[in-house]
Amino acid sequence: MKSEQSQKRKILVCCGPGCLAVGGREILQELRTKVAEAGADIKVEPVIKGTGCHGLCEQGPIVRFLPEDISYCRVNLADIDEIISQTVLQQKVVERLLFTDALTGRRVSSQSENSFYKKQLKIALRNTGEIDPLNLDDYLERDGYRALAKVFSQMDPGAVIAEVEQSGLRGRGGAGFPTGLKWRQCARVDNFPKYVICNADEGDPGAFMDRSIIEGDPHSVIEGMVIGAYAVKAHRGFIYIRDEYALAVKTMLEAIRQAEARGYLGRNILDSGFDFSLEVVRGGGAFVCGESSALMASIEGRVGEPRAKYIRSVERGLWDQPTVLNNVETWANIPPIILRGGEWFNRIGSEKSKGTKVFSLVGKVKNTGLVEVPMGISLRELIFDIGGGILNDREFKAVQTGGPSGGCIPADMLDLKVDFDSLAAADSMMGSGGMIVMDERTCMVDTARYYIDFLTEESCGKCSPCREGLKRMREILNDICSGSSRPGDIEILEEIAGMVRESSLCGLGKTAPNPILSTIKYFRDEYDEHVNKKRCPAGICRELTTFIINSEECNGCGLCKKNCPAEAISGESKAPHVIDLSRCTKCGNCIELCRFNAITVK
Amino acid sequence: MENLKDGDFTAQAESILQRYPREQRFALAMMQDFQKEYDYLPREAIRRIAGYLEVPPGKIYSLATFYKAISMEKKGKYIIKVCDGTACHIRSSTWIIEEIGKLLGIKPGGTSADGRFSLETVKCLGTCALAPVMVINDEYFGSLTVGKVKKILQRYGGRADEE
């Protein structure tokens, strides 16, 4: 019976955010219907599940067959009949639906052959994409709640903390504070009640790791939190989820309900005598609430403004009581650490950054998606081996890490090891794990302006260095991008940036100048060109851009002409084309489309 | 305001308030529930929440204006959210936002004169593989170009006209 169970065929349909947006849900429904219709003819009925994210969002919707381990990408409703007749009924592979490996250019049928997955090591994402997030039995089948059972039967709170300390786990929310130490500091305080909080207010643009974990494997977060609560003797916990993540809220609420019904939450958990209840709090759409003290204010029902950090939240946090706050990914790492031991975790990663880190690899990279890699992997491996390189094989320019508080790392530092300390040494930061790849068509001044714009909007306004400093920096950057800057502006920018960094109240303000400082440091030429020559070399800043077609390179294919929204391009077929500068809106559509590099920035 | 008839509103407001204990920590959740019901937060709701929680209305108002999730303006029938997260931004979302604004005659944050469309920008929808991307109500449109936007909006225009 057991072996029959493990042989059972499954079809996994990815229902992560990326795949849902391109019709994952419809594919799931259609497969369910069609497999049921065909069911009479086959002996083994495949189990179809909506799973969490498979990571490779670029190729969605993704459908995976187990135990054959065949993955199809970009599946259309029109493909379903063929999938049923070939793969479901005859176990044959439909070649045209397989992944094309971005590195080798070959079609691959299983995930293990795909370069995107080869260098990955999944701990926090161990179940995401493998299980039905709304089926607790799926989680249990994969060692779910076994760490919790181990804690209750074999470990006292001190032993739990020691295990987490030994693992070397550091907070995955960005700052990298040692998790075990945080727990120990909180456990030491003799003041009750205490609270544990999960920060799921994932606000960095371009980052969706936490969302994917909650939507794909909510019980791993719950289990981690119960263990943490036991370690510091807290009996209530809160999960603060970003307002925009409606599905994550729904999934987590359902998972909590299931855990309560089966005795993993509530009174006397697993007959241990330990009580713990968990609540979901929806955020209000304020980026600053990702900052821990602002988040706690928000849970209390106040305006989400941060406070000075000389009082630490492990002593006085939520409602002024001792509080442990960790990020989603941190919590999801706890159960495997307990189950397999801190020593096992400590062997993975680099010297001071242990374990793995989940990144969302996005921007101008071929394989956009969610990846989990051991700490210490090089940027080059991440972007070129896993990411498959730059879209349209353009030139790599920079990678932005750490969200709005992070920095841009240039091409000559591609061999940098990705961990907390090396990124900080390069004037960027780990942040929550967004990794945005930029190519020659990305303007670094515009990028800095983008982040400053974001932070100006999101600054809560409580302290003046951040509130006023950001506004002034935004004005200067606007001037630089629109051609009205004056010599000396870059120096003023640096001066204000230094002041904001030194004197702001919270982490948001202190790190807000990073996008400016790191782009000035590594791309000073580009700033100078904007200010002195009034030219944007990437062709992004409109007032500083003139596109021209090089008549020697242009073969008159007409692609740019056909797609020009301003109808500014003219030319006979197979003869060089020209751009009418009076009509050109500088949208850059032509330069993106041209396959012969015939269009350049004057 | 036609859907805010006094009797109906009182009954609806009561049913929302009663979902929560009288604790200030639920103020934001209450506002979100009101917004779900009416697509925006009516001023009257602020007064009711304040009364229920026994706090000055100004306190609730300060929350309502601080949190972006809460809108005190009535929104259009179709809410267009254009993603301007980093991945979308470097794939030219600025042009998409501009084009929609031009076509509908509104700026981000605004609602068209006929009340059909509201245009918003959001920082990251978490679907970076589809960049640049937008959502109209619950429907996603990815890998947008200026040309595509026009066609998509025409579809919505047509749909609204038929009704």
A279-293: pLDDT as tens digits: 999 999 888 999 999
Task: Say if B72 falls within a structural domain.
Answer: no
Q: Which residues of A7-45 are buried (b: 16+ CB within 10 A; e: fewer)?
A: eebbbbbbbbbbbbbbbbeebbebbeebbeebeeeeeee
Is the CB of residue A368 less than 8 Å away from at least one CB of chain B? yes
Residues with Cβ < 8 Å from A160, sequence gap 6 or more? A151, A183, A227, A230, A231, A338
At A51 the pLDDT is 62
- Domain of A460, CATH number, reads 1.20.1440.230
- Give CA–CA dist B118/B46, Å, rounded: 23
Rounded to 5°, the CA angle A78-A81-A84 comes to 135
Q: Are B119 and B101 in contact (CB under 8 A)?
A: yes
Q: Are residues A298 and A183 in the same domain?
A: yes
Scan residues 193-222 of A and list those with Cβ closer than 8 Å to B.
Answer: 203-208, 211
Domain around B45: 6-66
Same domain? B84 vs B13: no
- Map A29-85 to HEC letters: HHHHHHHHHHHHHCCCCCEEEEECCCCCHHHCCCEEEECCCEEECCCCHHHHHHHHH
Q: Does residue A188 share a domain with residue A315? A: yes
Residues A430 and A455 in one domain: no
Q: Considering the domain boundaries, does residue B40 fall inside one?
A: yes
Residue A413, domain CATH: 3.10.20.600
- Residue B73: inside a domain: no
Q: B28, A300 in Cβ contact below 8 A?
A: no
A36 lies in some domain: yes
Q: Is the pLDDT of residue A219 over 90?
A: yes
Q: What is the pLDDT of residue A47?
A: 64
Asked whether residue B71 is domain-assigned, the answer is no
Same structural domain, A172 and A46: no
pLDDT at A405 over 90: no
Mean pLDDT of chain B: 88
Asked if B82 and B56 sit in the same domain, the reply is no
**Do residues A160 and A151 make contact, with C-beta atoms less than 8 angstroms apart?**
yes
Domain membership flag for residue A373: yes
Cα–Cα dist A494/A594, whole Å = 37
Domain-terminating residue out of A114, A147, A180? A114
Residue A246 has pLDDT above 70, yes or no: yes
Assess whether A52 and A96 both reside in one domain: yes
For residue B85, list chain A residues with Cβ-Cβ distance below 8 A: 205-206
Tokens for A582? 């009076």
Return the residue matching tokens 């019904």.
A261
Chain A contacts of B142, Cβ < 8 Å?
21-22
**B22, B23, B28, B34: best mutation site toward chain A, by most A Cβ within 10 Å?**
B28
Asked whether the predicted pLDDT for residue A541 surpasses 60, the reply is yes
- ipTM attached to this prediction: 0.88
What is the enclosing helix (H) or strand (E) of A197? strand A195-200
Using an 8 Å Cβ cutoff, are A55 and A125 in contact?
yes
Q: Which of B60, B123, B141, B143 to mutate to test the interface with A (most CBs of A within 10 A)?
A: B123
Which of B66, B97, B114 is a domain's end point? B66
Specify whether A140 is located in the same domain as A277.
yes
Domain boundary (B66, B97, B117) is at B66
Residue A126 lies in a domain: no
Residues 6+ apart with CB under 8 A from B102: none
Note whether A269 and A340 are same-domain residues. Answer: yes
Interchain contact A36–B (C-beta under 8 A)? no
C-alpha distances in angstroms, A306 versus A210, A280, A467, A493?
Answer: 22, 21, 13, 25
Q: Which of B86, B140, B146 sits opposite A400 (nearest CB)?
A: B86
Encode pLDDT of A451-479 as tens digits.
999 999 999 999 999 999 999 999 999 99
| B37 shares a domain with B96 | no
**If pLDDT is split at 50, 70 and 90, which confidence band does A583 have?**
very high
* Domain match, A68 and A197 both: no
Least confident of A108-122, A147-161, A178-192, B24-38: A108-122
As for how many domains chain A has, the answer is 5
What pLDDT, on a 0 to 100 scale, did the predictor assign at position A107? 85
A455 touches chain B (CB under 8 A): no
Asked if residue B116 belongs to a domain, the reply is yes
Contact A516, A448 (CB under 8 A): yes
Query: Does residue A127 sit within a domain?
Result: no
Check CB contact under 8 Å for A442 and B85. Answer: no
Check whether residue A411 and residue A452 sit in a common domain.
no
CA distance B18 to chain A (A): 17
* A303 and B66 Cβ atoms separated by less than 8 Å: yes
Both B157 and B83 in one domain: the answer is: yes
The residues with which B119 forms a beta bridge, in sequence order, are B80
* CATH for A568: 3.30.70.20
Cis, bond preceding B132 (omega within 30 deg of 0): yes
Domain termination site, one of B33, B66, B99? B66
CB contact under 8 A, A206 and B129: no
Question: Do B83 and B28 lie in a common domain?
Answer: no
3-class DSSP string for A283-310:
CCCCHHHHCHHHHHHHHCCCCCCCCCCC
Q: A471, A502, A532 — which closes off a domain?
A: A532
User: How many Å lie between the alpha carbon of A163 and the closest alpha carbon of chain B?
Assistant: 34
pLDDT at residue B5 in the model: 59
Domain enclosing residue A369, as ranges: 356-439
- Looking at the structure, do residues A165 and A238 belong to the same domain, yes or no? yes
User: Across the interface, which of A22, A301, A587 has its CB nearest the CB of B95?
Assistant: A587
Helix or strand run (H / E) with residue A362: strand A356-363
Phi, psi (rounded to 5 degrees) for B141: -130, 120
- Of the candidates A36, A358, A354, which has an alpha carbon nearest to the alpha carbon of residue A213? A358
- Report the residue of chain A nearest B128, measured CA to CA: A362
Say whether both A262 and A337 belong to one domain: yes
Instruction: Indicate if B62 and B86 belong to the same structural domain.
Output: no
Q: Looking at the structure, tell me whether residues B50 and B113 fall in a common domain.
A: no
Tell which residue, A317, A337, A350, has the closest CA to residue A196: A317
**Over the stretch A42-86, which tens digit does the pLDDT of each residue have?**
445 566 666 666 667 778 888 988 888 898 999 999 999 999 999
Overall average pLDDT of the B148-153 stretch: 90
DSSP lists the bridge partners of residue A467 as: none
- CA–CA min distance B147, chain A (Å): 6
Whether A275 and A240 share a structural domain = yes
Q: Is residue A538 part of a domain?
A: no
Query: Which tokens go with A361?
Result: 């690899």
Whether residues B108 and B84 fall in one domain: yes
Average pLDDT of span A114-133: 89
Residue B45 lies in a domain: yes
Q: How confident is the model at residue A244 (pLDDT cuts 50, 70, 90)?
A: confident
Please, are residues A220 and A252 in contact by the beta-carbon 8 Å criterion? no
Pick from B90, B125, B140: which is nearest to A436 by CB? B90
Q: Considering only the C-alpha atoms of chain B, give the largest distance between any 2 of them, rounded to a whole number of Å.
A: 53
**Residue B53 sits in the same domain as residue B110:** no
Residues of B in contact with A436 (CB under 8 A): 86-87, 90
